[in-house]
Structure 1
Amino acid sequence: MSSPEHAFQELANIFASRDNKVLEIEIIPPSLGAAFLQDGCAIGTTKKTLIQAYTVARQLFFDRLQPMTEDDLKAIHQSDTVITEIMLLFDCEHLTACNWRKRRLCTAMASSVAATTLLLFQTELTLMSSYQCSPLHRHTKSPTLWHHRLWVLGHLLRMQTWSTPELLSLQRSELDVVLRAGELHPKNYYAFSYMRQLGVVLTDAAEDEDWNTESARSVVDRVIDWCLANPRDISGWSFAVHVLEDIPSEDIQVQALGKVTRFALSVGWEGESLWTFVAQAASQFGLEDTVNAIMIPLGRNVSAQGSQKRWHTWLGLARAYWAQNGNG
């Protein structure tokens, strides 16, 4: 049986040797007979072992890292930073630990060379990804971690000049993180809210006047495909509408809405989230006739006020379509 000190040291070694890689951390059942399992960047630890490591980390934090002057933070060693990493692994809402990391990064900005500071912020970003892309109970939907990630990204964007292709690449990589978090925790309001907020930050950093259009074009297919793979997720569908709002091209809106409608008709999908997207997008972008043309292909005389159609109205038309053409 491992002691708390041993559990802490095991986790500390893993975080200290992480470099800039993203870990995938999972709580494993004690029946596997091991306190730790590691296969490359995949880490497994039991809940008991994590609790033991946290108790040691918390004690060290208040003994060694609180309070700290700015001079102390300048001289902080890597072995001390893993203390807060273990604390946040156990308790993702530990504001004191998270704020300590912000203070450390702010001190580095004021005292370190630009290249060193840039690396610290990039490493902080991959640490957040290690939490938010791992099958952990609370981290994927933690408001504290998503707010911290946005804070890190905001400073990272101000440290250097970004070209439009670089910003688009960053946006896509952040979207991958959000969608992974959405898969791990369905209806992940916090993750998709982060993506909306990031859009504002990226717009401020972009020099291209057409940035909003370019960024929306860059991610719309990925978002729609994710929603079709997770059709019950209302947070994803709401974000899809948000993305389509930034595209002035009606052709792309028509293509996206048509793809969703045809998918629903082909598989016989009756879920509220998808049809809410159809109703909202059709009304918001003035595409009721487009959806009608797909759902009423035989020229039947079906009249309804387009702007007043709600999701169950469209579902009713879909059921009529299935009754005449077969469900799926």
Structure 2
Amino acid sequence: MSHQDAYQQLASVFTSRGNQVLEIEIIPSSLGSFLQDGNAVGTSKKTLVAAYIVARQLFSNLQPGDFSHPAITEIMLLFDCEHLTACNWRKLRIKAATAASDSQDLLQAELTLLTSYQCSPLHRHTKSPTLWHHRLWVLRQMQRRLPSQEGLDCLNSELEVVLRAGELHPRNYYAFSHMRQLSALLDTHWDPSTIDRVVDWCLANPRDISGWSFAVYILDTSTRPSQVQALEKVIRFALGVRWEGESLWTFIAQAARQFGLEASLEKMMIPEGHSSPMPDSWTRWLELARSHWAHG
């Protein structure tokens, strides 16, 4: 496959996707240069490099204000997710459309493009500070046009993107930082079902300290009953499976101290008739758990 053919192949995928989210994967050359099944796309590294070479050349030849070939930068970002010039070009394209007419459809298309990058098994894209920053910028443009209820829907849909990115790239600080910034931007309270979703994700990924830190963040703005329910759920899980990992117990120690729940949670772990000093660190909480297991 020539460089030009490689470019045309990938460009056609992006130009024909409509507003659909793609799942893109780099495949071994032994499987072929390019595969597609619906929204699932596979390209070899060699094909992507060839397409990028053409895209970069075309990009350098673009005239200022010519935004008629967005697939060029889409291929460039697929190859290099930290390509700031390509990202800035896409911002200028959106700003130009905003000045001319309603850009809501264009913003939505940009968001699904970013989801295609950040929710695909592309290791660098899921944790790319450039892409997460660009995503927040896009959401800022959309937020100005969103009523409050749609803001909550936006928060929940973004959470699913972040959790997926966290699964693909553990300890994904950039993804969870994005959620903190978006939450502050929308100024929307987390509902109990969303808190449950985050806690359940953390229990499914108990070694991920970024997820646990985010759980503390959202619990800090929730009601007292939600805080108690979440912490009791985590402790029951830890005691039930005899989990000794540091991240989970760090969450318990931090949340219990921050929300003033040490005494009530401690009772779940101390056998009847026994006493113990108030735990002041995650290692002390783990010692209480081990004592609980020993008397269980």
Quick one: distance in 1 between partners of 2:243 and 2:265? Answer: 15
Say if 1:22 and 1:127, in contact at 8 Å, map to a contact too.
yes
Q: Deviations over 1:292-313 (max 9, x none)?
A: 1111142312123x5xx10000
- CA distance, structure 2, for counterparts of residue 241 and residue 292 of structure 1: 18
**Equivalent residue of 1:64, what SS?**
coil
Q: CA deviation at 1:200?
A: 1.1
User: 109, 134, 139: which is aligned to 1:123?
Assistant: 109
Q: Does 1:143 align with 2:129?
A: yes
- Helix, strand or coil for the counterpart of 2:19? coil
Residue pair 1:216, 1:244 contacting (<8 A) in 2 also: no
- Identify the residue that residue 7 of structure 1 maps to in structure 2: 6
Number of the residue aligned with 2:148? 163
Match of 1:322 in 2: 293
When the two structures are superposed, what TM-score results if normalisation uses the length of structure 1? 0.88
* Displacement after TM superposition at 1:323 (Å): 1.2
Matched, 1:245 2:220: yes
Matched, 1:199 2:188: no
> 1:37 maps to what in 2?
35
Secondary structure of 1:254's aligned partner: helix
Match of 1:217 in 2: 192
- In the alignment, which residue of structure 2 is the partner of 1:254? 228
1:311 aligned partner = 282
Q: AA paired with 1:102? A: K
Does the Cα contact within 8 Å between 2:81 and 2:124 map onto a contact in 1?
Answer: yes
| Structure 2 unmatched runs, 5+ | none
Cα shift readout 1:114-156 (whole Å, capped 9, x = no counterpart): 2xx1100000000000000000020000000000000000001
**Within-5 A mapping of 1:288-299:** 288-299=262-273
Q: Which residue of 1 aligns with 2:206?
A: 231
Is contact 1:7-1:53 (8 Å) kept?
yes
Q: CA RMSD in A?
A: 1.1
Q: In the alignment, is residue 134 of structure 1 matched against residue 132 of structure 2?
A: no
Pick the aligned partner of 1:264 from 238, 242, 250.
238
Offset, 1:216: 4.6
**Preserved CA contact (<8 Å) 2:143 2:151:** no
- Are residues 1:28 and 2:27 paired? yes
Q: Is the 8 A contact 1:24 1:134 kept in 2?
A: yes
**Partners of 1:176 and 1:250 in 2: how far apart?**
25
Matched residues in 2 for 1:25 and 1:318: separation? 43
Aligned partners of 2:271 and 2:295 also within 8 Å: no
Q: Within 1, Cα distance between the matches of 2:215 and 2:273?
A: 30
Aligned residues: 296
TM-score by length of 2: 0.98
